[in-house]
Structure 1
Amino acid sequence: MPATSETLTAERILEATEEVLRRHGPAKATVVDVARALGVSHGSVYRHFRTKAALREAVTKRWLDRTTLVLAGIAADAERDPEARVREWLAALFAAKRRKAGGDPELFATYSVLAGETGEVVSAHVAELAGQLTEIVRAGAEAGTFAVADPETAARALFHATGRFHDPGYAKEWERPGAEGEFEAVVDLLVRGLRR
């Protein structure tokens, strides 16, 4: 469906780019393919994204932001018990990553390649996730639920200790029988370590 009847926006370009990546993979997908899918010239795409790399960074960020937004609501829910929030946040992160890997394996593989190319985008994503987890741990420390002197260090330790359940390098293990139980055992151990 050509974009000539509609205003070409960055969001429409990113949607089309995702579909082109799904169809062709990161090695073969081009800006010309994206433009063709939108029914516009490649110059129209370049007016929104100056380079192919900028387009790939933006589509990777958009993909990562989907997870960040889900988790932000849990992190911001100050009415809930911090321990329950830590558990829910980690479980939601694991579930989101599993959905991405299992629900659309081709696109997940594509984004794994793109994430390797866009290190700054991934670093910013990890920093944002660590910041959300820090917010929850800090609330637990202030409430006296958690015995941590440095919430940021404790949150980063939680994040890294659960890496096997959200780092894309472990995706093949996520659907293995027993993975959910292993996740719960690790989270139980970590949360007990946070308590007073």
Structure 2
Amino acid sequence: MADVVLTKDLILDTAETVFRKFGLAKTNISDIARAIGVSHAALYKYFDGKAALRQAVVERWMHGVFDSLNIVLVDELPAEQKLYRWLSSLRDFKRERARKDPELFAMYTALVAETEGVLIAHTENLLDQLALIIQEGIASGEFTCTDAREAANTVFIATTRFHHAAHSSEWEAPNSDSQFEAICQILFNGLSKKT
């Protein structure tokens, strides 16, 4: 691989593979560099060290959810339908990742837990999107709440069981779909409750 063109994406792809093969604790920068066919010093041009590399791997993986969520944001739908589609998309993305490759999902769950600040930034981005949808509902008169951000926090917390990795063992339960529908209905009723 002497002719390899080193890019951030190549490093991140390789890091993911090496982390998966050897585990998070046992993998170091040299292992990743060796898998690419470059010196470990070459990786330091892109990342300050293992922690920075791990953070970049996690951020890239977590950012994947926004592909489907951003599509929902631009849909011309009533706010309640848009909110339902957004929550469903978030839930489906996480479930699909866990179903498709449970080992990789577990690795990322561990990485997220160990990577300072990444989960906070990710959650803030999700809350921003939720607040935007709720604000649209307030503006159209569909929702009667007055604080979109507070409502977004409430919706996010109320649906945590359906999208947080800590609950992934519950996602395939026979009643998971009906519980998700019930929670959504309660939330929609609360958002549109006449005072």
Return the TM-score normalized by structure 1: 0.94
Tell me the alpha carbon deviations over residues 121-177 of structure 1, each in whole angstroms, 9 at most, x when there is no partner. 110000000000100000000000111110110011000100001111101000111
| Counterparts of residues 1-196 of structure 1 (less than 5 Å) | 2=1, 4-77=2-75, 79-196=76-193
Runs of 4+ in 1 over 2 A off after TM superposition: none
Superposition deviation, residue 33 in structure 1: 1.6
Superposition deviation, residue 75 in structure 1: 2.0
Which letter maps to 1:94? R
Tell me the alpha carbon deviations over residues 42-80 of structure 1, each in whole angstroms, 9 at most, x when there is no partner. 111111101110000000000000012321221233x21
Q: Residues 20 and 33 of structure 1 are in contact (CA less than 8 Å); yes or no, is this contact kept in structure 2? A: yes
For 1:36 and 1:165, locate their aligned partners in 2 and report how far apart those are by CA, in whole Å.
Answer: 39
Q: Which has the higher contact order (CA 8 A, sep 6+)?
A: 1
For 2:29 and 2:74, locate their aligned partners in 1 and report how far apart those are by CA, in whole Å.
Answer: 38
Find the residue that maps to 1:14 and give its secondary structure: helix
Which letter maps to 1:19? T
Whose helix fraction is larger, Structure 1's or Structure 2's?
A: 1
Which structure 1 residue ranges, 5 or more long, are not aligned?
Answer: none
Over the aligned positions, Cα root-mean-square deviation in angstroms equals: 1.2
Which structure 2 residue ranges, 5 or more long, are not aligned?
Answer: none
Which letter maps to 2:50? K
Superposition deviation, residue 116 in structure 1: 1.1
Return the TM-score normalized by structure 2: 0.95
Superposition deviation, residue 29 in structure 1: 1.9
For 2:173 and 2:21, locate their aligned partners in 1 and report how far apart those are by CA, in whole Å.
Answer: 27
**Matched residue pairs, number?**
193
